[in-house]
Structure 1
Amino acid sequence: MGNKCCCASDALVGMEPVHDMLFPMCVVKVSDFLRMSGPPEAHGHMKEKGWLRAWHPGMFVIFISHQWLGSAHPDPQGQQCAVLRKALLGVISGSLQVQTDPVTLINRASPVISAGLRQQIADGFLFFDWFAIPQITARLEGVNEDETRSDAALAVQSIPAYVEVSNLFIALVPELTHTVTGARCSYISWLSRGWCRAELWCHVLSNKLSSSLIVVHSAKEAEFMSPLDWQRHSIADGEFTVESDRSKVVQLGEVAVRAKIEYLSSAGPLSSYRFYLAGRVQLLRQKSHEYWERDAFLQQFRFPSLQAAAKDTSSMNGLLCATFAGDVNLIHNLVYMEADVNLRLHGLDNFGYFDGQTLLMAAAKSHQPARVLAALIELAADVNTAAPNGTNPAYMMRSPEQLHVLLNAKADLHSPCLPLGLTPLAGVASFSSTETVAAMLRARCDPNPGLQGIGYGPLHGATFFSRSNKHSEGTVKLLLAHAADANARARPQGNYSWICALARSQCAVTGFETSPVMSRAFASLPGLTPLAAAAFIGCQPVMEILLRHDAVATPNDRGDWPDTLATSNQHSHLLPDLSTFSV
């Protein structure tokens, strides 16, 4: 869930709150925020100037989740807020089109922000912690530990409730440098933080009609979050500056998941209820049980009999429930009752599982243990059946253990997945761990395959998706160590060549910098190098690795140099390095 977007005036109607609001929620009018400049002012100053409003039902509120760039101040130089102001102005005017993530876009049409929602944003209110919470400081061990009854502490404890009553959630994640530690703060680092994950989960798992989730990478780049991004980032294994916060915040996640399941149990839809119920143990990183007791499974998942569960054709039938629950015994029992082990998914797009993908692909993508994949293959799941875009189970492997199962089953690890044209190694390099990539390379997968379809290889893939894959830096280093070409050029072919030509025409008419980001991406793709791809998405760590491995700054077929692409997407932090290494 999380990438639906519509006019949200009724999003909170009839919603039963799950979390307690222990301190009033203070918000700022969007129109007032857009008139501000420089570093954001603290709660006290905002209150003195009369800019703070007390939340009440009926307000349209945008919750801003972000990572602090300092210890005493969240945005000492005002960089994050400057990006947010420009992005909001772009969304309100319609000049910044928020599109879905690239993977979802390949599989289905992107949702749009309606004119009504743009107006609600313009007339709405912002929750930003520095404005809203009195005397808030960065969480540090030993700081505020004895002040649990202070206004600040009560407000911090109320953050899940603030998220819950907000209509729109924005993750503000431009790549910037922490002013004290020197660490890079970006989407990956934001996803790693336990408190950020808690905010994210409280929004996605709320009972609102709309759970719109927007990731702002720069003033020119905003996208709807992939639902797999929140599913694979459990609160339980998040990073906490104060370790004692972990158990308390994990409880928030447990409460949110339980409340979501209870709500869906009565309100539906049944498919969503079954999805969350099946995935609960994995989402919460709880100790997995080996199997469901038969009667409990039928009662909890609401099947009249095991045979009915096996024959069910709904989007969350019995076999899918058993697979997402990781229950090998139940999988066997259902297949023995003639459940289709080669079924194709439908109706689960909102969870990141697309129409036409197979059960085996769902098991891989959802990070199921290797024993689940082995059971499906033993029961005659086809290891080479492709999705409509050509991707196969090997493309979606998430662990070396999963890959080992496919190797034993003689899966095709080498052929391009047509019509998309990417090899399984490109998929694994894009979305999986460095260890899984290493296993693919040991299986003699080619880091420099012949180009077909969309026309790029594993190194491009690791770079393109480096903003959301924490393993990307290690994967890029590994591919380069195995002689991946740091200066390879993308060569889209067939239909993808026509898509790129169409995007190039659109950019010529509307202007490159004012075109939607995916139009700019496809227009830039022919002749694009991995270095230029890193510049386009603004990933400095990967860009630096490529430069150290003799990547050369050269233009793509359209004539765009890497520094031009960085500038077009407002990634100015990359320009010093690019100018140093340009030819």
Structure 2
Amino acid sequence: MGNALAGPALCGPDAAKIQLVHECKFPMYVVKVSDFLNMEGAPMPHHVLEQKGLLHIWYPGMFVIFVSHQWLAATHPDPHGKQMAVLRQSLCGIIEGTVHVENDMISLIKGRGRCELPGAVRRQVQEGFLFLDWFAIPQLTARHEGVNEDAQSKAALAVQSIPSYVESSDLFVALVPELTHVTRGTRCNYPSWLGRGWCRAELWCHLLSNKPDTSVILVHSALEAEFMFPLDWQHNTVAEGEFTVESDRAVVVKLSEVAVDSKIRHLGMEGPIGLYRFYVAYRAKLLGRPTLPWDLVGFLESFRFPSFQDALFDQTASGALCAVLAGDTRMLARLIWRRADINHRVSGLSELGFYDSQTLLMVAAKSHQKPEVLSTLLELRADVNARDRSGLNCAFYVRSALHVQVLVEAKADLHSTCVPLGLAPLTGASSSADTDTVAAMLEALCDPNPELSGAGYGPLHGVAGFARHCNRYSAKTARLLLAWRADIDMRARPSGKYQVLTLAARARTGLGQASGSLTTRRVAALPGITPLAIAAMLGDGELTQLFLEFGAEMLANDRGDLPEDLAASNGQDHLVPILATFCV
């Protein structure tokens, strides 16, 4: 059997008690990080690690990193050890402080406070333990119909216990470098991982747990790690995930329901009330179920408003905001008729991706509500062109072609760039919406080559820079924009305070003061960067190939970095050969 270490520095008499929502049916086996860092090549399976005495049984107080990943072959998770090499290098970088885990770029652009992994956590990582399915589960195989169907086998019991393993872990790491699936020949990366039903289930069990820290670390390469953008998980429900074995869907959906309801109960007891109301309102959408209208008594009781007056005027997740998030147009109209603020601005929900100063109309668009919710707000005289503190209006946040139609009918401004951020609404749609939405914007005569100001990038830059968040559409959207004559070689031109920020970042990188900071490196590279260079820097093989096929030039940015240089400096080694070939 594996080892159960007694009383190391990570565990003591004051270790916190773990209260699990999900049942643990099989012991949780983990490997010491220090032992993992000494391994090489393809990962060893459970029985080999057990024979070598490298497995340890989890107990409360252990600092555990749960690693979620997509298998790269039909019978082995990582036959060539490429994923594990990235994980080893990134963990070494995190421990040594050469790899910084920072906010996603959207949160930084929207002014959310800069967040980094604390030094104390880096030290815990060094002394901690690692959970990986291949290490932890006996005789594990990829899921197929008829394989491991014995529900009482050790492997089955361990798989059924994965939600509790997630809850017991302290850090959640999604290992998502772009690599090729050995069997299928397809790209495996963050979007493909996020599409997998079981990966979503692991993610949700972590995010919806009652742990004080539910942040998610995405490892894109050996040199690039960032915290997950919150809307990524909200828009990728477990019910809509991809399952190799279809019968798994109902099982995993039930797990997600248990997790959501547990989260709501916990927030109902502990607060904050704003987050509690968000999850109550969003429950049906998270679980992929139709939204049903509330009666007044049920609405007040469920959202814990002491009275109808409180629902009208409470500034902590107002009744109108709850109705918008729940998609309840009837309750929304009732509240507005009784003088609730139709242009109420959100506060306190930044950790969920809804930033301070955004209006109800913006929230309705960002949360993928049906067009009736937007049209109801506009009929009740919401300001269609209201701006948030970044200068963005609702047109920037549209998420469907029907949203665009509603805004066109309301004579919304779909063309003006925002101040101070300087981005056009089409750039927002290209960054975060599907291709049909972008097509609707283009048909409304939005310019695919808008005048640049502020942050200084255009729609094609947006596709490349944020493809990870909507990769299902990025290549198709890029082709559409190019068909509408978007400039494939457009160079980013930051101005004003954004130019000053890029110069400061360039100075820091030049002095070696921010070599590990992904954010600083990206900002420093921005002036003069092309869509191809952004795709290369972020390791997007599909877009890199597409831009090259469409004749993109290998242009250096203002600092002199070629796309090949940016890929190499960001650990995206898989793109260097193809970029070097086109450089010749």
TM range (shorter): over 0.9
Name the CA distance, whole Å, in 2 between partners of 1:574 and 1:353. Answer: 34
Name the CA distance, whole Å, in 1 between partners of 2:11 and 2:197. Answer: 28
Partner of 1:3: none
SS at match of 2:511: helix
Aligned residue among 74, 77, 87 for 1:74: 77
Residue 490 of structure 2 aligns with an amino acid whose one-letter code is A
Contact 2:200 2:237 in 1 (8 A): yes
Aligned residue among 96, 118, 122 for 1:114: 118
Aligned residue among 11, 30, 44 for 1:27: 30
Partner of 2:147: 143
Aligned residue among 36, 48, 51 for 1:48: 51
Contact 2:400 2:437 in 1 (8 A): yes
Contact 2:291 2:328 in 1 (8 A): no
Partner of 1:131: 135
Q: Over residues 452-504 of structure 1, what are the superposed CA-to-partner deviations in whole Å (9 max), with x where a residue is unaligned?
A: 11111100000101122121111111101111111111111111111110011
Residue 371 of structure 1 aligns with an amino acid whose one-letter code is E
Partner of 1:534: 535
Shift of 1:150: 0.7
Shift of 1:520: 1.0
Name the CA distance, whole Å, in 1 between partners of 2:450 and 2:461. Answer: 12
Partner of 1:182: 185
Q: Over residues 168-226 of structure 1, what are the superposed CA-to-partner deviations in whole Å (9 max), with x where a residue is unaligned?
A: 10000000000110010000000000000000000000111111210000011100001
Aligned residue among 219, 227, 230 for 1:227: 230
Contact 1:228 1:351 in 2 (8 A): yes
Q: 1:20 to 1:487 in 2, by over 3 A?
A: same
Contact 1:173 1:190 in 2 (8 A): yes
Shift of 1:112: 1.9
Shift of 1:357: 1.1
Name the CA distance, whole Å, in 1 between partners of 2:467 and 2:180. Answer: 17
Query: After TM superposition, what 4+ stretches of structure 1 lie above 2 angstroms from structure 2?
Result: 7-16
Shift of 1:515: 3.9
Aligned residue among 36, 39, 43 for 1:36: 39
Contact 2:178 2:190 in 1 (8 A): yes
Shift of 1:267: 1.8
Contact 1:8 1:167 in 2 (8 A): no
Contact 2:24 2:161 in 1 (8 A): yes
Matches within 5 A, 1:152-191: 152-191=155-194
Contact 1:15 1:207 in 2 (8 A): no
Q: Which runs of 5+ in 1 are unaligned?
A: 1-6
Name the CA distance, whole Å, in 2 between partners of 1:175 and 1:141. Answer: 27
Matches within 5 A, 1:30-429: 30-106=33-109, 107-145=111-149, 147-289=150-292, 291-314=293-316, 316-429=317-430
Name the CA distance, whole Å, in 1 between partners of 2:492 and 2:107. Answer: 21
Partner of 1:443: 444
Shift of 1:148: 1.6
Shift of 1:307: 2.0
Partner of 1:482: 484
Shift of 1:159: 0.5
Q: Which runs of 5+ in 2 are unaligned?
A: 1-9
Q: Greater CA deviation, 438-447 or 104-113?
A: 104-113
Contact 1:61 1:127 in 2 (8 A): yes
Residue 137 of structure 2 aligns with an amino acid whose one-letter code is I
Residue 49 of structure 2 aligns with an amino acid whose one-letter code is M
Name the CA distance, whole Å, in 2 between partners of 1:557 and 1:294. Answer: 59
Shift of 1:15: 4.8
Partner of 2:548: 547
Residue 530 of structure 2 aligns with an amino acid whose one-letter code is T
- The question of 1:504 aligning with 2:482 is answered no
Shift of 1:334: 0.8
Shift of 1:141: 2.1
The count of aligned residue pairs is 573
Partner of 1:452: 453
Contact 1:310 1:334 in 2 (8 A): yes
Contact 2:205 2:256 in 1 (8 A): yes
Residue 141 of structure 2 aligns with an amino acid whose one-letter code is T
SS at match of 1:510: coil
Partner of 2:582: 581
Q: Over residues 531-551 of structure 1, what are the superposed CA-to-partner deviations in whole Å (9 max), with x where a residue is unaligned?
A: 111111010001111111110
Shift of 1:9: 11
TM-score with structure 1 setting the length: 0.96
Contact 1:307 1:337 in 2 (8 A): no
Cα RMSD (Å) of the superposition?
Answer: 1.6
Name the CA distance, whole Å, in 1 between partners of 2:556 and 2:403. Answer: 39
Q: Over residues 367-397 of structure 1, what are the superposed CA-to-partner deviations in whole Å (9 max), with x where a residue is unaligned?
A: 1111011111111111111111111100000
SS at match of 1:471: helix
SS at match of 2:298: helix
Name the CA distance, whole Å, in 2 between partners of 1:12 and 1:70. Answer: 39
SS at match of 2:369: coil
Q: Over residues 15-59 of structure 1, what are the superposed CA-to-partner deviations in whole Å (9 max), with x where a residue is unaligned?
A: 531101100000001111111111110000000010000000111
SS at match of 1:223: strand
Residue 482 of structure 1 aligns with an amino acid whose one-letter code is W
Name the CA distance, whole Å, in 2 between partners of 1:10 and 1:492. Answer: 55
Q: Greater CA deviation, 503-512 or 571-580?
A: 503-512
Name the CA distance, whole Å, in 2 between partners of 1:511 and 1:74. Answer: 37
SS at match of 2:469: coil
Residue 558 of structure 2 aligns with an amino acid whose one-letter code is D
Name the CA distance, whole Å, in 1 between partners of 2:132 and 2:153. Answer: 19
Shift of 1:344: 1.2
Residue 104 of structure 1 aligns with an amino acid whose one-letter code is S
Q: 1:13 to 1:334 in 2, by over 3 A?
A: farther
Contact 1:31 1:123 in 2 (8 A): yes
Name the CA distance, whole Å, in 2 between partners of 1:149 and 1:527. Answer: 59
Q: 1:271 to 1:11 in 2, by over 3 A?
A: farther
TM-score with structure 2 setting the length: 0.96
